[in-house]
A and B are shown apart, each in its own frame.
Chain A
Amino acid sequence: MRRPNAALVGATAALFVVQGLISKGMYPTWVARYSAHNVGFQEGLNVDQLLASVGGLRQMVAGILWVRSDQYFHSGQFDAILPLIRLVTWLDPRQMEVYATGSWHIAYNFTDEQNRSDRRYVPLALALLSEGVEHNQSSFRLFHETGWIYYHKVNDEFDKAVFWFEQSVQKEDVPPSLKAILANAYLRDGRLDDALNLYWMLQRDASAEYARTKDEPTRIRRDTQENNLNNLIMRMVSRGIFGRRDGVYDLLVPGTEKWLYPYDTHDPVDLNFSVKIEVIDKKVLRLTGNWGIATTGARIRIVVRDEEYNILWEPAPEGLDFDVDRDDTFMQDSLYTQNKFFDRKIDMSRNPTMYPFKSERYIVEFFFSPRSAPHHIQDKTGWDGEGMTDSRYIRTDIRPGVRVLFAEYELTRDMVLRRGDYIDSAVQMSPGYVEPETSDVVGVIIRRSLRN
């Protein structure tokens, strides 16, 4: 019988200690870079999923499922997608693509016949993203995606977009081209100086990089940043931001009624808003009305919802586990204005799952915020609505810090369904509503001047 070689045993013991130290040294990096942050164990991953996920099968199963969910999407089987996304992200919580694309599907692609997306799903998309963010803290990707949903899909409550984009730009892996979006979000949140600072910093960085590399893509990027910066300065000047700070905004030429320094926002434009809501058929609305801004392109948000149901633009508290409540009605669209009026037909009759109309009373909301308006509209209204007025519907309590247009009307279920008292007609309108001057020529701007 051989005796163990003492030197060999000693060396092995030493190696054992060394491997432990290496392992210990690697662990923090693993946590920072490769960890799935405890997914499954905390959330009660069931036995099947655990089995499927063992031994590295996880990523593979997740990949297969993801492919399948994509096929469901393309064949229009939306209902099958949610549980699959749920499973995929359980299996492989590091798969950022699944969170990103999945939330995009959920927020954007459940649509009705007129391509209006189903807003009831937005909180689910946000819930999926917030879960993804939790598991992928070190990358910009899902912070950016979440910010984008607030910035573009919700297109309101821009402090939330700012919150997410600010985190996105701090990640090491964020491409420089995606940083400018934060400046846009600042602008919509009314934080002009932050936007200005950021544009300035981006321009400085891009110039420095161009000085170093001298290549075409960086030159283009530098030019873009310069453009952004210059545009913002110009807009701040012409909209009287600096003038207001210098106390010269409201100065008149002595002895006249003329402004000393004319600004775009001077002489606020009267929105002169009024609307007629006509239920022209069961679940079909026609909205006509007046709009004071002559410039084409302002969009007035319209929401038709159950009186007791409103969407909070926040992650669904249940996470992605449950589908939306199919009894709730929430329709959101926008009214495109042209030639100082709008005229829009909204047909909700063909999508009963999206618009069940189970409630007795409905609210119709009209909302216009200068913050999310296009630049040329903002040129009139200003960022905070200082350049607009309306005798009835300007509100300052709806979005603090901004003058917005807000009007709401009520519809009953009988009106929407055109029955009972409303079998012949169902109309709601602003007091003193006057039919707009319309033209037979559609799609042509007929104003000679945009000043009146």
Chain B
Amino acid sequence: MGQIFAIAQTTLGEAIRRRVLLIILLIGLAFLIISPSLNQLTPRGQTEVLVKMTLGILKITSAILAVTLTVYLIPNEVERRTIYTILSKPVQRYQFLVGKFLGSVGALAVMIGLMTLVLLVTFSLQQRDASMDDVARIVKSAVMYVFQMSLLAGIAMLFSTIVTPIVNFFMTGMVFVFGTLMNPIFESLGASSGGGLAGLGSRVAHYALPNFTNVDITGGATQAEQAVGGSEAVYMMNGIIYAIIYTSIMLVLAVLIFDRREI
């Protein structure tokens, strides 16, 4: 465990200090700061629109962060040959991989946290009529994003053991898009009740492929509506457990491949 934490901590430090990521982070922050000023005229529902919009920006920025943080994680180590100095120490490959992953997820959490903080500050400055419910909703969504993006990072990690970073970027992006639209597509196909081979196939795909909608609570319409159909906390908890399990599966597969790979 000591080795994993040492690697995670170093990766976290490096990610936080890497300039490219800082630039992306700054763009996100700038967006968050600018967006409220776009919106001074709405007579009704300004807060509602603003919350959704800023959460959208937060989601996109953190998804880009998650992918860019992860796709270069292993290739960079190989290119800089630091991986050899580490693996020639009493460090197992899985420890290296898990350490790297935890480090980048930690960095992700820190960055999402920072962006959320800025969002809340600008929010409270611009939206004096914002309620504690709005604040709670932003915070809850941001927490879910951390887990959602960890899952995304886990997928990028798995791909990074197989393909080059550029290919990985697109593959992970596609998985994200598909995983985000998974429930809507599934629902529109009416596949949950469909019989036959096609119905079975789509059900299998639906429950086998990574489903980002499970780890997202921004789709709901209003705070009040979130109460419909049982406790939101339970739904969130399920989503978080789902994300952790799926991420673990991705990591195990990544380790199995990475263990066998020439580096």
Using a CB–CB distance below 8 Å, which chain A residues touch chain B?
Answer: 1-2, 4, 8-9, 12, 15-16, 18-38, 40-42, 54-64, 66-67, 70-71, 74, 92, 94-98, 100-101, 104, 136, 138-139, 141, 171-173
Pair B181/A60 contact, Cβ less than 8 Å: no
20 contacts between A and B (CB under 8 A): A20-B207, A22-B214, A26-B238, A34-B183, A34-B213, A35-B183, A38-B184, A55-B177, A56-B63, A56-B180, A60-B53, A62-B52, A64-B38, A67-B39, A67-B49, A67-B53, A136-B221, A138-B228, A171-B228, A173-B227
Instruction: State A127–B55 Cα separation when bound (angstroms).
Output: 29
Q: Which residues of B have CB within 8 Å of A26?
A: 214, 235, 238-239, 242
Pair B260/A2 contact, Cβ less than 8 Å: yes
Count how many pairs of residues, one from A and one from B, have CB atoms less than 8 Å apart in the complex.
183
Q: Which residues of A have CB within 8 Å of B143?
A: none
- Known A-B contacts A41-B188, A54-B177; the reply to A139 vs B41 at CB < 8 A is no
B217 within 8 Å of A (CB atoms): yes
B197 within 8 Å of A (CB atoms): no
Pair B242/A139 contact, Cβ less than 8 Å: no
Pair A22/B183 contact, Cβ less than 8 Å: no
Q: Which residue of B lies closest to A101 (CB)?
A: B44
Q: How far is the CB of A145 from chain B (nearest CB, A)?
A: 11
Q: Which residues of B have CB within 8 Å of A104?
A: 44
Q: Which residues of B have CB within 8 Å of A21?
A: 207
Q: Which residue of A lies closest to B43 (CB)?
A: A101
Q: How far is the CB of B204 from chain A (nearest CB, A)?
A: 9
Pair A29/B56 contact, Cβ less than 8 Å: no
B77 within 8 Å of A (CB atoms): no
Q: How far is the CB of A158 from chain B (nearest CB, A)?
A: 25
Query: Which one of B15-23, B125-133, B249-257 contacts A?
Result: B249-257
What 0/1 pattern do residues 174 to 218 of B give for CB contact below 8 A with A? Answer: 001100110111111000100000000000001110010110111
Q: Which residue of B lies closest to A38 (CB)?
A: B188
B50 within 8 Å of A (CB atoms): yes
Pair B45/A37 contact, Cβ less than 8 Å: no
Q: Which residues of B have CB within 8 Å of A141?
A: 221-222
Instruction: State A2–B260 Cα separation when bound (angstroms).
Output: 7
Q: How far is the CB of B252 from chain A (nearest CB, A)?
A: 5
Q: Which residue of B lies closest to A94 (CB)?
A: B221
Q: How far is the CB of B109 from chain A (nearest CB, A)?
A: 18
Pair A23/B207 contact, Cβ less than 8 Å: yes
Pair B45/A97 contact, Cβ less than 8 Å: yes
Contact of B56 among A40, A58, A136 (CB under 8 A): A58
B229 within 8 Å of A (CB atoms): yes
Q: Which residues of B have CB within 8 Å of A40?
A: 184
Task: Give 5 closest A-B pairs by Cβ, nearest first.
Answer: A63-B53, A60-B56, A173-B224, A97-B45, A34-B219
